[in-house]
Amino acid sequence: MQFKKIVASILCAAMLVVSVAGCQSKEAASGGSAAANNDEKVSLKFALWDKNQQPIYQKMVDQFMEENPNIKVEIEITPWAQYWTKLETAATGGSLADVFWMNGPNVTKYAEGNMMTPLDDFISKDKIDLSQYPEALVKLYNVGGKQYGIPNDFDTVGLFYNKEIFDNAGVKYPTADWTWDDVVAAAPKLTDKSKGIYGIAAQNANQNGFYNTMIQAGGYILSEDKKKCGFDDPKSIQGIQCWIDLIKKGFSPTAQQLTDTTADTMFESGKVAMIYSGSWIVPEYMANEKIKDKFDLQIMPKMEKRATIIHGMVNAIYSKTKYPQQAWKLVKYLAGKDANDIRATSNIALPAYKPSLEKYTASKPQYNLKALTDELDYAVMYPCTEKTAKWQQLETDEMAKIWAMQETPEEGCKKLAQAVNAVLATEK
């Protein structure tokens, strides 16, 4: 009898050991130890590319660490020019930062390369309401039905204008009711060649230029299934032709002039009355003594319809991080109200968390910042596929020829469409 009790005790102990081992195995499979998911002190590396945003992110991180004393976060800054090369090298070598900035053009590549952790289980468990973020931006970071990021900030594009030039020319400021016809009508009145002033900068730019007008004119950049591009669509071509016409008529600097001196620089120096630019430029304009008291902005004028390209970045979690739970805590915080309120009042970027947008628009009441947030109602996702970089290089090369008047928009766009579609055909 005693022997049976001893045997039973041994079996129970063995079962307990197996049970504990099984739990530990499951924990290891999730990328961290039981201690790491509770009270162990850990260090996370957080990689980003913009040194101008470092002070703001340091403020966020400091607040996060105060609330999570067992988690230390070290910010690593790599300039944009080297960021993606360094990221790819780190990914190949298995040494990516635990959390890192990710953008639209690269999300498919890193998601399909299994370098990022899908966040669906985290989002579901913590009941994150994705409807509180711009829909097009949420969709941008969903690859193969899996969500790889929660938007932190976003960019929309507005019509920026120089009030002094408008006043001197006797032209009324742009309103929310303006159409493209109003732009075309105002441009010659604002142009004063004797002073080197142009009505508008028809810059060769996609996100803050022709992508918007292609869609506004009724065309498209990529089909819904991303199998075909729309550069050769007649209405897309119209959305590019409208810029070329402004250059031909002398109401905009030439492509060469805009290469020698950027459109933003010309606007800031008072040589351009109107410019399409993104929300990212607002801090620069605000800090420039020459323009800060002279500029304001409005929603982009309507063509066949309204549209704005929306882009923004997310914080991705490395798929092989040792500390997935802690990394998620950081990502969740950075996408939440406290971090977005900090972002909103810094003016460094538009906060993606919608409840924080009012703080952004009210932060500088002398500017019509609400124009940038009003456009969310018709925002269109930045065009991205697996090989965005490859087909956008083709786009860059062909648009340079169009802007230099070496080809007409129709000729160049038809060639471009054929080349881009060939790239899209090779994608998964």
256-309: per-residue pLDDT in tens? 999 999 999 999 999 999 999 999 999 999 999 999 999 999 999 999 999 999
Q: Rounded to two decimals, what is the model's pTM? A: 0.86
Look at residue 333 in the predicted model and tell me its pLDDT.
Answer: 97
Which residues lie closer than 8 Å to 48 by C-beta, 6 or more apart?
54, 57, 75, 76, 77, 78, 100, 101
Closest CA to 372 of 194, 151, 70, 160: 160
Which residues lie closer than 8 Å to 20 by C-beta, 6 or more apart?
none
Q: Which residue segments constitute the domains of the chain, with CATH numbers given?
A: 42-154+312-363 (3.40.190.10), 157-310+385-424 (3.40.190.10)
For 253, half-sphere exposure in the C-beta direction (CA atoms, 13 angstrom radius) is 24
Scan for tokens 């966040």, then name that residue.
119
Q: What is the pLDDT of residues 173-189, one digit of tens each?
A: 999 999 999 999 999 99
φ/ψ of 387, rounded to 5, equals -115, 45
Look at residue 40 in the predicted model and tell me its pLDDT.
Answer: 82
Burial class of residue 304, CB neighbours in 10 A (0-12, 13-18, 19+): middle
Above 90 in pLDDT, residue 425? yes
Alpha helices (runs of H) in 94-218, residue ranges in sequence order? 104-112, 120-125, 135-140, 163-169, 180-190, 211-216
* High-pLDDT (> 90) share of the chain, %: 87
DSSP H or E run through 147: strand 146-147
Above 70 in pLDDT, residue 13? no
Q: What is the pLDDT of residues 329-349, one digit of tens each?
A: 999 999 999 999 999 988 788
Q: How far is CA 264 from CA 163, 258, 291, 317, in A?
A: 16, 9, 11, 34
Above 90 in pLDDT, residue 39? no
Please give the average per-residue pLDDT across 86-90, as a whole number. Answer: 94
Beta-sheet strands, E only, within 216-372: 272-278, 295-298, 308-310, 314-317, 350-351
Look at residue 346 in the predicted model and tell me its pLDDT.
Answer: 86
Look at residue 38 in the predicted model and tell me its pLDDT.
Answer: 55
Indicate the pairing of strand 198-200 with strand 157-162: unpaired
Please give the average per-residue pLDDT across 353-369, as a whole number. Answer: 94
Query: Do 328 and 123 touch, CB atoms closer than 8 A?
Result: no
Look at residue 37 in the predicted model and tell me its pLDDT.
Answer: 52
For 168, half-sphere exposure in the C-beta direction (CA atoms, 13 angstrom radius) is 13
Query: Which token pair is 399?
Result: 């648009």
Q: What is the pLDDT of residues 213-262, one digit of tens each?
A: 999 999 999 999 999 999 999 999 999 999 999 999 999 999 999 999 99
Above 80 in pLDDT, residue 25? no
Please give the average per-residue pLDDT across 363-375, as a whole number. Answer: 95
Quickly count helices (H) and strands (E) in the chain: 19, 14
